[in-house]
A and B are shown apart, each in its own frame.
Chain A
Amino acid sequence: MQVLFQRPKALTDAPFHYCPGCTHGIIHRLIAEVIDELGVQGDTIGVAPVGCAVFAYNYFNCDMQEAAHGRAPAVATGIKRAHPENIVFTYQGDGDLAAIGTAETVHAAARSENITVIFVNNAIYGMTGGQMAPTSLVGQVTQTSPYGRKVEMQGYPVKVAEMLSTLEGSAFIKRCSVDSIKNINDTRASIKKAFQCQIDKKGFSLIEVLSTCPTNWGLSPVEALEWLRGNMMPHYPLGTYKDITGGDKK
C-alpha cells in the first residue's frame, strides 16, 4: 500500500489542543516537515513560548525547552552557545515576541545569533482570552481595546519583520501567511530556507507567519481567513525583508 499522507516524524502523536480553525497546527506541521526534509530531527532543540503554543514541547518530537514569557530568544541563545552545532529554533506568538520579549528578540537579531525564530502573528493574545496585542490593528476590537484600538490611546501596531530587517545582524527575515495553499507552500519553503540559513551559519533568521484566531476574533474559520486577507495583509505585506543568503528578493 502506498502512503500518501502521514504525520511528520518530527511531530509526536499527541493531539493538538488548538481551537477549531486555528492555524497553529498548520505551522507546527510545516516546521516538522522541514525538520524531516533536512534530516535534522536528532540535532534540533526547540524553545516553546508562553501563549497558545505553550505546549509545543509536547508536540515536537525533538529536545525542547519551555521558556518564560518573551524569553525564548535568550534561552535559545544559551542553548546555541552551549551547542553551536545543534539546530535551535524558537516558536513565539505576537505578545511573547513583540511585547514582553521585544528586547530579547531585537538583541538576538542584533547579535546575529545563529538561531531560527518562527513568529506567529495573529494580532491578539489568544491564551488569555483575546486581549490587544502589540500587532493588533488600528480599530481592532479586543477585550482590552473594547472600543477598537485607538492610536491616541494605544499607538500603532508593531511591524516586526520590517523593524528587524533594519538590523545589520539579521540574515533572513520574511513574512508569510497560511491563509491559502499557495501561501502555506511558500511558508514551508521559507521555514526551510531559514533553517538552511542556520545550518550554513549565516546568522539570525525569522519567519513571521500571519495567522488566524477565529475564537478570539469572534469569526468562523473561513471568515477569519477572509479577515486576515482583508485586514492583516494590507498592513503586514508579505515578502522577504532581508536576505543575505543570496536567494529571492522581495
Chain B
Amino acid sequence: MDKVLMKGNEAIAEAAIRANCRHFFGYPITPQTEISAYMAKRMPKIGGTFLQAESEIAAINMVYGAAGAGVRAMTSSSSPGISLKMEGLSYIAGADLPCVVVNIVRAGPGLGGIQPAQSDYFQAVKGGGHGDYRVIVVAPASIQEAVDSTINAFDLADKYRMPVMIIGDGMLGQMMEPITFPETAGKALAEKEWATTGTKMTRKPNIINSLYIQPEELEKIIMARQKKYEDIEKSEVKYEAEGLDDAEIVIVAYGTTARIVKAAMALAQKSGIKTGLIRPITLWPFPKDIIYKTAKKAKAIISVEMSTGQMVEDVRLAANGACPVYFYGRTGGAVPQPKAIFEEIRRYA
C-alpha cells in the first residue's frame, strides 16, 4: 500500500477506524485533541459514532456501555484526563470488557504541563484504578508502530476481553511521519455471545457486572483473571533489542525516549564503548526475561525515562541483582538530550 504522511494522533485515529472501531467517546485535552477532531470528521461519514462527552469520566463509561454491548469502542485523553478515567477502567477490567484507551502523556502531577513526559508509567502498568487488575500497555516509538499497535490493540482487547492502553507523548502525537496502513478490510470480527444486545427471546439474559458480594466467589473470578494475565505475560511480551551480544552498558528505554537513546549510543560507539538497547514495546507485560538474561552479562543497565524514575523499578526487579541498574531521566516536560545520556553511559562504562 502507498505511504502517507500523517500526524501521530491522526494516524492513531485512522488506525482505529481501520480496525473497525465505530464508537469513539472523547473529551478535549492537549496534546491528544487531534484524535477526537479526526474522529469527529470521519465517523459520521462511515456510519460510526463520535461523541464528545461531558467529561472523561462520562467518556470512559460510555465506552463501558458500548463495549458491553459488543462493539469495538475507544477513548483517548492525556494524563489528567486519564486519571479521571481510572474509575471506569477498573470497572471495565472488572467486567472483562474489551476496549482501547489512548494516553498521550503530558507532564504531571496536577495540571503539570503539555510537553512530553513518561511520568504516567506507574499509573498505566500498576493499575491506576482500584483492585487486582491489569491493562495491556503498548508504547510505540514511531508513528508506524503506533498505527500497527492500535490495530493490534483491538484484537488483543477482544481476544483477552480486557482494556488495552496505547501510551505515547506529545512528541509522538504531534510529529508527522510517513506510514503505511496494513490491510484490514474484510477482516471478520469475533462473535461476542456475552454482550448485551437484547435477548431477542432466544437466550438467557447477559449481565455485564463487576459486583460479587461473596468473597469466595469474587476471589475465584479474580484468580481466573490472574491466570489470563499469566498467559499474557507468557505470550504477548514485545520488545526491540539492539547490540545485546557484546554490550558493556545496556540501556532500557521506551517510546520516543528510546529514539533519543539511539543517538546517544552512536556517540558512545565513537568513543569505543559498546552499548545495547532494550526497548520495551509492551510495558505490561514487561520484557523481564530478556532484561534478566542481559543483566547476567552486562556491566551495568541504565533506565532512561522522561520521569523521576518509574520504569527503573521494574528494570531492577527484572535484573534481580545480576548487575547494577542506574537511572537517568528528565521530567516536567524536559526531554533528555543525547549528549547527557552519553555522559551517563561513559560514567558507568
Residue numbers in B under 8 Å from A103 (CB-CB): 54-55, 57-58
Question: Which of A60, A66, A77, A104 has a CB less than 8 Å from the CB of B211?
Answer: A66
For A60, A66, A82, A87, which residue has the most chain B Cβ atoms within 10 angstroms? A82
B112 at interface (Cβ–Cβ under 8 A)? Answer: no
User: Counting CB contacts under 8 A, is B180 at the interface?
Assistant: no
Chain A window 92-108, contacts with chain B (Cβ cutoff 8 Å), 1 for yes, 0 for no = 00000000000110110
Q: Is B102 an interface residue (CB 8 A)?
A: no
**In the complex where A62-B205, A103-B55 touch, is A81 in contact with B61 (Cβ < 8 A)?**
no
From the candidates B53, B66, B207, name the one contacting A66 in the complex (CB within 8 A).
Answer: B207
Residues 182 to 199 of chain B near chain A (Cβ within 8 Å) = 196-199
Instruction: Decide if B25 is an interface residue (CB 8 Å cutoff).
Output: yes
From A57, A64, A77, A104, residue with most partner B Cβ within 10 Å: A77
The answer to whether B51 and A81 touch across the interface, beta carbons within 8 angstroms, is yes
A165 within 8 A of B: no
- A79 & B69 in contact (Cβ 8 Å cutoff): yes
A107 CA / B199 CA spacing, docked (Å): 29
Q: Are A43 and B209 in contact, CB atoms less than 8 angstroms apart? A: no
Q: Shortest CB–CB separation between residue B163 and chain A, in angstroms?
A: 14
Does A68 contact B199, Cβ atoms closer than 8 Å? no
Q: Do B205 and A82 touch (CB < 8 A)?
A: no
Query: Per-residue 0/1 for A220-248: is the Cβ within 8 Å of any B Cβ (1 yes, 0 no)?
Result: 00000000000000000000000000000
In angstroms, how far is the closest chain B Cβ from the Cβ of A125? 17
Q: How many residues of A contact B (CB 8 A)?
A: 36
A103 to B84, CA, bound (A): 14
Whether a CB of chain A sits under 8 angstroms from the CB of B111 is no
A residues within 8 A CB of B207?
A: 57-58, 63-66
Q: Collect the chain A residues with CB atoms within 8 Å of residue B91's CB.
A: 67-68
- B22 CB to closest chain A CB, in angstroms? 9
- Contacting residues, chain B, for A75 (C-beta < 8 A): 61-62, 64-65, 68
Residue A190 lies at the interface, judged by CB distance under 8 Å to chain B? no
Q: Which of B59, B65, B210 contacts A79 (CB 8 A)?
A: B65
B58, chain A: closest CB distance, angstroms: 4
Contact B95 A78 (CB under 8 A): no
B62 touches A63 (CB 8 A): no
Q: Which residues of A lie under 8 Å from residue B58 when comparing CB positions?
A: 71, 74, 77, 103-104, 107
Closest Cβ–Cβ distance, residue B336 to chain A (whole Å): 39
Chain A interface residues toward B at CB < 8 A: 41-45, 47, 54-55, 57-58, 60-68, 71, 74-83, 86-87, 103-104, 106-107
A74-B57, A77-B62 given; 15 more Cβ-contact pairs under 8 Å? A41-B201, A45-B198, A54-B211, A67-B64, A67-B65, A71-B58, A75-B61, A75-B64, A78-B63, A78-B64, A78-B68, A79-B69, A81-B62, A83-B197, A87-B198
